[in-house]
Each structure stands twice: as structure tokens, then as C-alpha cells.
A and B are shown apart, each in its own frame.
Chain A
């Protein structure tokens, strides 16, 4: 558990380091995900070292978004000033993206089979 957590934090740190150094538009944690995947594929890191910590974090991931969500209250008047274009565009666009992404993936996967 502690070993897994230490590894995850180390890779996040490396991700942040590369992201800042190379001035990449990708945030450190996303880069850390890529680095960890590479380390697993190469065999530098064994999946057993991480499983406990990773499964604990991932099964509770929704919880970690709560403080970010509460932050919406600070910008409530910014949103309420133009609530109609914001809310309609937000909801419809989210549905469009899901439909197009899912359909394209499914169509191309089926065509190949």
C-alpha cells in the first residue's frame, strides 16, 4: 500500500517535472499516467507493487472531485449572468460528444470484425 502510493507520487512528480521543463500543454498527472504505463510495459515496475494503492484510489476517485465541484459556487454569479447559453451549450454539447465518439468507435470496431 505505502510502496504503491510512493510509486504513484514519484511518477506524478516526474510527470510534473517533464511538464514544466519541456513547457508541455499536458499536465503532470496525465504525463505521469503515460510514464507509469510505459514503465509497466517495459517491466521496470511490477503491477503487484501498485495494485493495492491504485485500486483504493480508483474505487474512490469520484470523491476526490468534490472540492473542485464545490468551487463552482465561487463563480456562481459569473455563470448566472449568462446562464442560458452556458447551460444549454453545456448539456447539448456533452450529449453530442458522447454520441459521436461512441458511434465512431463502435462503427469502426464492427467494420473490422
Chain B
């Protein structure tokens, strides 16, 4: 009976919402401790529950995919903060484009380069390359250069969690203080998951972070095949 119930969409949707609400309460109680960022805590808790009760991942995703579906219109909705902050963003278009281009280059080179230096196999090195880009773009790119798409999908999500957990704090620590620079840094490094966190911190930072998802996707899509030809 337990198996048939957990195979219903009700289970995946209900579990995700319930754990997320709990995680948000813990986060508020901890006075927003970065290590308790709700997305990361919820992901870890759900994986633990599935493993402990021996519930197949496929059963969870019967409901999970409905929640994931809402990500699509949310990305489209990022145009709203962009539109609201259009004049600030327009005056900073030069620095924003330069920042994203520099960040995209550093991301590809440092992710693959470090993995290679530490003895990673060719597949892993290639799969690391588009780690800072939003999932659908990253998967399309990695298929082109010959990495493992599933590994890239997991790496992209982990990268997003790192940016969401330590992004704003790390930026403050190294002297990145303006909202537009912080938003651009976190959005370029950790795409949508980082952007979700920035939207909670500041409206302009969230808007710039959302813009960075699209821009970094474009820049990486142009740079990565080129770098692959040069060094592959």
C-alpha cells in the first residue's frame, strides 16, 4: 500500500512543499544562516527520506516534475524585474557585458583546468566545462563536445547550490559591494539557483542576476565550442 501511495504525484508534490516550508522555518529561526539555505536543506532532506524509506527516485519524480515545470514560466518571469530596473541596467550595460564575458571564460577554463590538474578523466573534464550555465544550455553544449550530459546536470545543480549558499557572503568578503556587481557575480557563477537567492536579497541584484543567466548562456555557447577546437 505504501508503494502505491508513494507512486502518486501527491507524494512528490506534498513531500517537496512540506519539507521546503520546514526548511524555511529553520532558516528564519537560524537568522538566515547561509549553510541552512532552504533549497540545499530540502534537497538533502528529500534524498535522505527516499533512501531511508527505500522509495524509488522515479516515484518521487511523478510529483516532482510538476514542481519542476513551474521553473519554465519563472525564468520567463525574470523579465519583470529586468523591466522594472531597466534604466539602471541600461546605464551599466558595458560593465555588465564585460563582467559576464570575463566570468564565462574563467568558468570554462578553471572548471575544466582544475578537474584536469587533479587527475579527472577526459569525460569528467569535458562535463565540468559548462558548469555555471543554466541546465538546458549546459546539456546541449556538453553533448556537442562529448561529455556526459547526466553528470553535467548534477554538476550544474551543485554549482547553483554553492552560489546560493555562499554567494552574497563571499562577495561581501572580497569587496564586491554594489547590488549590480553582486547580482551579476552570483547569476553568472550559479545561474537560476543563485538568482533565486539574490531575488530574496535585493531587487536590482535579482534583476541583474536573472539577466546574467541568459547572457552567460549566450557567451558560453559561443566560447565553449571555440575553446574546445583550440585545446580539445
Q: Which residues of A are at the interface with B, using a C-beta cutoff of 8 A?
A: 5, 8-9, 11-12, 15, 25-30, 32-34, 36-37, 40-41, 47, 50-51, 53-55, 57-59, 61-75, 78-79, 82, 84-86, 88-109, 112
| B contacts with A: majority SS | helix
Q: Are B178 and A109 in contact (CB under 8 A)?
A: yes
By a CB distance below 8 angstroms, the chain A residues around B195 are 61
Whether B68 is near chain A, meaning CB under 8 Å from some CB there, is yes
Residue of A nearest to B68 (CB): A67
A64 to B193, CA, bound (A): 9
By a CB distance below 8 angstroms, the chain A residues around B107 are 93, 96-97
3 residue pairs, one from A and one from B, having the closest CB atoms: A67-B64, A101-B103, A102-B185
Interface size on B, residues (CB 8 A): 118
Q: Are B47 and A15 in contact (CB under 8 A)?
A: no
A65 to B161, CA, bound (A): 10
Identify which of A28, A54, A85, A112 contacts B77 (C-beta below 8 A). A54
Known: A57-B73, A67-B61. A37 touches B79 (CB 8 A): yes
Q: Are B43 and A66 in contact (CB under 8 A)?
A: yes
**Interface set, chain B 71-126, CB cutoff 8 A to A:** 71-84, 86, 92, 94-96, 98-100, 102-103, 106-107, 110-121, 124-125
* Interface bits B23-34 vs A (CB < 8 Å: 1, else 0): 000000000000
Known: A70-B57, A89-B110, A93-B111. A26 touches B218 (CB 8 A): yes
Q: Are A36 and B79 in contact (CB under 8 A)?
A: yes
A100 to B148, CA, bound (A): 27
Q: Are A97 and B132 in contact (CB under 8 A)?
A: yes
Closest chain B CB from A33 CB (angstroms): 5
By a CB distance below 8 angstroms, the chain A residues around B110 are 89, 92-93, 96-97
Q: Which residues of B are at the interface with A, using a C-beta cutoff of 8 A?
A: 12, 16-17, 20, 37-40, 42-43, 46-47, 50-51, 57, 60-61, 64-65, 67-68, 70-84, 86, 92, 94-96, 98-100, 102-103, 106-107, 110-121, 124-125, 128, 131-132, 134-137, 140-141, 148, 150-151, 153-155, 157-164, 166-167, 170-171, 174-178, 180-182, 184-186, 188-190, 192-193, 195-197, 199-200, 206, 210, 212-214, 217-218, 221
By a CB distance below 8 angstroms, the chain B residues around A57 are 70, 73-74, 77
Q: Are B199 and A61 in contact (CB under 8 A)?
A: yes
By a CB distance below 8 angstroms, the chain A residues around B200 are 59, 62
By a CB distance below 8 angstroms, the chain B residues around A106 are 95, 176-178, 181
By a CB distance below 8 angstroms, the chain B residues around A15 are 76
Residue of B nearest to A107 (CB): B95
Closest chain A CB from B86 CB (angstroms): 7
Q: 19 A-B residue contacts at CB 8 Å? A: A8-B77, A12-B72, A15-B76, A30-B134, A34-B214, A36-B76, A50-B80, A58-B206, A61-B195, A75-B150, A93-B114, A94-B131, A94-B162, A97-B106, A97-B132, A101-B103, A101-B212, A109-B92, A109-B180
